[in-house]
Chain A
């Protein structure tokens, strides 16, 4: 099942890593969803349907996603106590998976709607890839403004392999 994109946000709310896969498929499914909606709501007057939704830049996407997970997380905590955190949500175009560490690092993944829960997988990425190759890399800075030091070769390689293994499941 396809995985569309992956984001890491640091404790300063900044997006320090992002990666996209299956661009085309994702927009096909998004466009299909739009088309379905449109066919219900718009009058059949022969006006051509929108082909694709307005594209945002990757940075704007990341900002929006952060806004969503940040608000959802706070809302969940207000509703049921500080130990609770939200795990995922689903639209008819994608499913968003969320994992945060006690150090306020936030991992977000967008996948196909039928994907099972990936919280454990995000935890694995943190433990086996992020901590091993980014935190323990002596040449990488402690803070990663603008993503400095996160997208290192070992991390990218490990992530790519891990993503493939999840998609193959």
Chain B
């Protein structure tokens, strides 16, 4: 599938088949979750990242079914096709943003998503305690969502943020790496 086709599907589904909610409601709800986590875990930002990833993972496991139901997509034709679908269709229909797919590794197994806008992080300033700037990945839930969703379509991936404008970096970049294709399960007692 060509890139423009992905963009068209994303646009079409976003326009016709998605219930919209107020973006600020999403931003503020997500913000309170992260804030509460920071409070509950007493500023252990590594643990906060982990919890956000886990929450995202559980969202992803279900979100993929909604994605497939809305887009009526079949299986992707290689990992590059997957990357385009995530950026131009997935992020488009659920967050109305289209991150740029870039920095492919030579073996075509890992790529970066660069976010020019990120509705989760609007109005956000990281805590000024000297650690959050270096330890907290504020939007880490998105990594979990991708990991969960792709696992359900037989792709085990590893996703993490490499930079975040909230930390003072120039861009917000997520790195996604394909670990392996998960084999279909066989019925029990069928070797």
Contact = CB atoms under 8 A, between A and B. Distances in A.
B188 A104 contact: no
A98 interface: no
A103 interface: yes
A83 B74 contact: yes
B146 to A, nearest CB: 15
Interface in A97-133: 101-105, 123, 126-127, 130-131
Interface of B: 58, 61-62, 64-66, 68-69, 72-75, 152-154, 184-188, 190
Given A83-B75, A136-B66, A102 B153 contact: yes
21 contacts: A11-B185, A12-B185, A13-B186, A13-B187, A13-B188, A63-B187, A82-B75, A83-B75, A101-B68, A102-B68, A102-B74, A104-B154, A104-B185, A105-B65, A127-B69, A130-B65, A131-B65, A135-B62, A135-B65, A135-B66, A136-B62
A136 B72 CA distance: 17
8 closest A-B pairs by CB: A127-B69, A13-B187, A131-B69, A135-B65, A103-B152, A142-B61, A102-B153, A131-B65
A70 interface: yes
The listed residue with most A CB atoms (<10 A of its CB), out of B58, B65, B188, B190, is B65
A136 B58 CA distance: 12
Nearest to B153: A102
Given A136-B62, A142-B58, A103 B153 contact: yes
A53 interface: no
A67 interface: yes
A104 B73 contact: no
Contacts of B65: 101, 103, 105, 130-131, 135
